[in-house]
Structure 1
Amino acid sequence: MTGTNRKVGGRQEAVLKQMKGLGLRRQSRSYATNLHDIDSMSQLTCASDAPFEDTTEFGESTALPEVDVGEYSDASYSDEPSESTDSPSSSSSPDSPRYAFQSPKGLSQEDFEFLQAHGLEKCTPLKELGQGGYGSVDLVQVSLPSGRNFVAARKVIHSPLYAQPRYERELRGLQLCADCPFVVDIFASRITSDGQFEFLLEYAPNGTLHDMLKAMEQRRRGKEKLLMPVNRIQYYAACMLKGLQFIHQRGQAHRDVKPGNVLMAANGRPLLADTDAMDSVQVTKRAGTTSYQAPELWRATLQGPGYTTDKADMYAMGITLAEMAAYPAGGNGKLQQLKDDPAGCTPAYVPPELKDLLCGLLAPVAKRLSAEQAMAHKFFEGLDWEVLSEGPLGISVQLRQAPSFEMAAATAAGRAE
C-alpha cells in the first residue's frame, strides 16, 4: 500500500511519535514512512545505497595550509597507532590538539568557551536523531552560564573502522569550512576514555537530501515529471556548488558527495556534511560511496599529470543533481543508464538547460565542469549568489524548525521525570 494508506510500524512509528511530541511542522507521516534503517535522519557517514569505501593510504601527505589549528601539526598519517590514541582527548583538553572552533552567532565569549570546553560532557540528550553501523546522532541541549539552553546534534562514532586518523581528517575538514555557510558547523569534539569519537555539530532539523528525495519519489507516484520544481533544484544545486567551490579553492576535495551527506538546515539551506573523507586534491585514491565515484577513480594511477580529485567531486555532484531531477538512488536502474549516457538517457521532461548542466558534470574528466564553470552555467542565469545562505529564494517549502530553547528545556524536564 502506498501514500497515506501505507501503514507504519516499529521504528517508523516511534519516530512519528517523537516528531509529533516535539511539535514538528512537517508532514510527519509521509516522512516517517520513508525512513531507512541505515541512513535516515542521521548525520553519519553511513551510505544511502552502498557502503563507504576509503582506500586512501594514510602515508600520503594531507596538508591543510590555510587552517588555523594552533599547536596542531599536520604530520603524514601512519598505520602505527599514535601516542595520543591511548588517552582521551577533547577539543579543550590541554593534552590534545588545539582547534579554533567557530562561535555560533549570538553567543557571548563566556558561553562559547563553556560550549567548547564542556559542551559534550555536560549536554542533556533530548531524542535520538539517527543510528547506523558507525554510531549514532542525538539531539542534545547544553545549559550555558548565561542561562541560555543551546540545542545541537551530538555525533558519536564507535565503529572500529573509524580510527583516529579518520577522526582527525573529519575534524580538520570541518575546521577548514568553519566560515562556509554551506557546510555544517562544528562547536566541539573529543575522544572519550572508552575510545568513542564525539562531535558537537549544528543541528539540521530537516533530515538529509536523501530522505527528502525518497519522500518526493513516493509522492510523484511514477509520473513522468521532475521530482521537484526547477527553482528548487536550482537553489539546492547552487548551495552545494558554493560549498564545493569553497572546499576546492583551499586545495581540498570532499570525496563523498551524495544526497545522504547533505543536511537540510532549519531555513531550508543544504549543508555539506561528513568530511571524514576530505583530503588534498592531490590524493587520487578511491574514497567515498562506490555508486557516486567517478569512473577515473577506478584507474587513478593512469591519470596524467595535473589530475586532481576535485573533478571526482563534480562527477558525484552530477549524480546528485540527476537524483534531484529524475531518479533517486535505489530505483529501477534508470539512474545508472543516465550516468552511462546522460545525453541519450536524460528524461524528456528535464529542461534543456538542466540537461546540459548534467551532461557537463557527468562528462569525461577532461571535459567535466569545475565548480566555477558549473556556477556560470546558463541553468543558474539570474540567480543571486550573494543571498543563498538566507534560505530558499521564493520557494514554498514546508520546513521543520529546531526546537526552541523553552521547548528543549521542557522536553528534558519531562524525560527526567
Structure 2
Amino acid sequence: MTGTNRRLDGRQEAVLKQMKGLGLRRQSRSYATNLYDIDSTSQLTCASDAPFEDTTEFGESTALPSVDVGEYSDASYSEQSDFSEYPSSSSSPESPRCAFQSPKGLSPEDFEFLQAHGLERCTSLKELGQGGYGTVDLVQVALPSGRNFVAARKVIHSPLYAQPRYERELRGLMLCAECPFVVDVYASRVTEEGQFEFLLEYAPNGTMHDMLKAMEQRRRGKEKLLMPVNRIQYYAACILQGLHFIHQRGQAHRDVKPGNVLMAANGRPMLADTDSMDSVKITKRAGTTSYQAPELWRATLQGPGYTADKADMYAMGITLAEMVAYPAGSNGKLQQLKDDPAGCMPAYVPADLKDLLCGLLAPAAKRLTVEQAMGHKFFDGLDWPALSSGPLGFNVQLRQAPLSEAGRAE
C-alpha cells in the first residue's frame, strides 16, 4: 500500500503520536510516513542557498587553540591528547590516532574496528546528497560482533577544501564529541587520492531546511506560525544548547543555518559542518551570505562589540525567524525582517518570541549572548536537562502558546 493508507511501522507510529501531541494535526500521518524518506543533504558543506565563503588565510594562525575539556572528558579523550596537533583516525601515518566518541551500544572491540576500518570496509547503501565539494552516502559497516552499523560517509574531493579546512572540521567535531546537539564523528581519513572522508552519525530525518520547506508547503501561504510554539521552543533550545557548548570553549560555529542542522532519529536537532569553526576572537568573514551578521560587511571588522560568537547569535536569529514564519526564499519578507525586526514582525508572532528575535537580530553591541538567549522568558518552564532525549524520549511538558500581540492564542 502507498500514500497515507499504508501501515506505519513502530517508529513511524511513535512519530505520528508525538507530532499530534505537538499540534501537527493536519497531514500528521503523511508527515510520519514520509519522515524517514527525507534525504540528508546538509552534511555537504556546499548544500546551501549560497556558497560557503571564508576569507581566512590558512597561512595565518587560525587553527583551533588548545582547549581544556577536562570537566567534560571521559574515556573517549586521552589525558595525553593535544589539540595543538591535528587528529586523524586512520590511513595517515604522519597524523596521530585520536579517540573518537563511541556510539551507544557498541562494544570496545566493535568501536576499535569502526575507527580503524570503518571507512575502508563500508558498503554504500544509497546516496544522500551531492554537490560541488563531494558526496554524502548512507553506508553499512559489518562489525566483528556480526552487527551491521549504519552511518553517513562524507567524501570531499574539491580542491577548494584543503588540508587545513579538513583539520579544522575534524577538530571541531572532536571538540563537540560529548555534546548531543552536535553531530558525532566516528572516523576520518585522507585517502591516497587526496580525498577527505568522514564517518558521521546518520540523521535519517534530513535537515531542518528540508523540514521547513515541507511545513511551508503545508501552510499554503496562510498568515500563521510555521509550527506550534512549543516545537519552536524545543528546536531553538536544542540549537542554543549546541552553541552554548561551543562558545563555552572559546569557539564559534560561524555557519549556523537550517541547512547545517541535522534532525536525529528521535527528532533532536544537531549542528553539523564545523569546517568553519574558529576562535570567537576571529574577525574574518565566514559562513553563508544570507545568514551573516551586518558587522561582517563593514570595511573594518573591528567594530565595537564584534566577536564571532555574536555573529553566531545573529545567524541563530535568522534561523529562528525561518522556523517561525519565513523559510528561505519567502519573497523578500525575511530581508525586511532583518532590516527592521521590531517593525516587520508579523502580528501573529507571540510577544515573548518577538522579543527574543529582536534581541538576536539587534546590533552586535546589544545582541543577546547564548546565555542571555537561553535565559529569555520565551523558554520559561522548559526542562533543559531533558532536551538531549529528544521529543520521542520524554513527555513534552511545555507551556501553552502565549497570547500574541494581536490578543489571540496561537
Per the shorter chain, which TM-score range? 0.7 to 0.9
Matching residue's letter, 2:176: C
Q: Tell me the equivalent position of 1:41.
A: 41
Report the CA distance between 1:24 and its aligned residue: 7.7
User: CA–CA distance in 2 between the matches of 1:150 and 1:158?
Assistant: 25
Deviations 1:33-71 (A, max 9, x none): x98xxx963411124211110111220343132365856
After TM superposition, the score normalised by the length of structure 2 is: 0.82
Matching residue's letter, 2:254: R
Q: Tell me the equivalent position of 2:52.
A: 52
Q: Structure 1's 55 and 214: CA in aligned 2 closer, same or farther, altered over 3 A?
A: same
Q: Which runs of 4+ in 1 moved over 6 A?
A: 23-26, 28-32
User: CA–CA distance in 1 between the matches of 2:44 and 2:327?
Assistant: 19
User: CA–CA distance in 2 between the matches of 1:269 and 1:71?
Assistant: 30
User: Aligned to 2:68, what secondary structure does the other structure show?
Assistant: coil
Q: What does 1:144-293 correspond to in 2, within 5 Å?
A: 144-293=143-292
User: Aligned to 1:145, what secondary structure does the other structure show?
Assistant: coil
* Structure 1 gap segments, 5+ residues each: 5-19, 77-83, 397-417
Deviations 1:247-287 (A, max 9, x none): 00000000000000000000000000000000011111000
Q: Structure 1's 47 and 339: CA in aligned 2 closer, same or farther, altered over 3 A?
A: farther
Report the CA distance between 1:365 and its aligned residue: 0.6
User: Aligned to 1:133, what secondary structure does the other structure show?
Assistant: coil
Q: Structure 1's 210 and 302: CA in aligned 2 closer, same or farther, altered over 3 A?
A: closer
Report the CA distance between 1:29 and its aligned residue: 11
Q: Tell me the equivalent position of 1:127.
A: 126
User: CA–CA distance in 2 between the matches of 1:55 and 1:49?
Assistant: 19
Identity of aligned residues (%): 80
Q: Structure 1's 24 and 124: CA in aligned 2 closer, same or farther, altered over 3 A?
A: farther
Report the CA distance between 1:297 and its aligned residue: 1.1
Q: Tell me the equivalent position of 1:105.
A: 104
Deviations 1:57-107 (A, max 9, x none): 22034313236585666379xxxxxxx9xxxx7536443232221111111
Q: Tell me the equivalent position of 1:335.
A: 334
User: Aligned to 1:107, what secondary structure does the other structure show?
Assistant: coil
Matching residue's letter, 1:194: E
Q: What is the CA RMSD across the aligned residues, in angstroms? A: 2.7
Does the 8 Å contact 2:92/2:190 carry over to 1?
Answer: no
Bigger Cα displacement from structure 2, 90-99 vs 342-351: 90-99
User: Aligned to 1:301, what secondary structure does the other structure show?
Assistant: coil
User: CA–CA distance in 2 between the matches of 1:172 and 1:181?
Assistant: 16
Q: Structure 1's 355 and 30: CA in aligned 2 closer, same or farther, altered over 3 A?
A: farther
How many residue pairs were aligned? Answer: 361
User: Aligned to 2:209, what secondary structure does the other structure show?
Assistant: helix
User: CA–CA distance in 2 between the matches of 1:54 and 1:295?
Assistant: 16
Q: Tell me the equivalent position of 1:405.
A: none
User: CA–CA distance in 1 between the matches of 2:164 and 2:299?
Assistant: 22
Bigger relative contact order, structure 1 or 2, given CA contacts below 8 A and separation 6+?
Answer: 1
User: CA–CA distance in 2 between the matches of 1:288 and 1:56?
Assistant: 11
Matching residue's letter, 1:74: S
Bigger Cα displacement from structure 2, 130-139 vs 321-330: 130-139
Q: Tell me the equivalent position of 2:68.
A: 66
Bigger Cα displacement from structure 2, 55-64 vs 329-338: 55-64
User: CA–CA distance in 2 between the matches of 1:353 and 1:28?
Assistant: 29
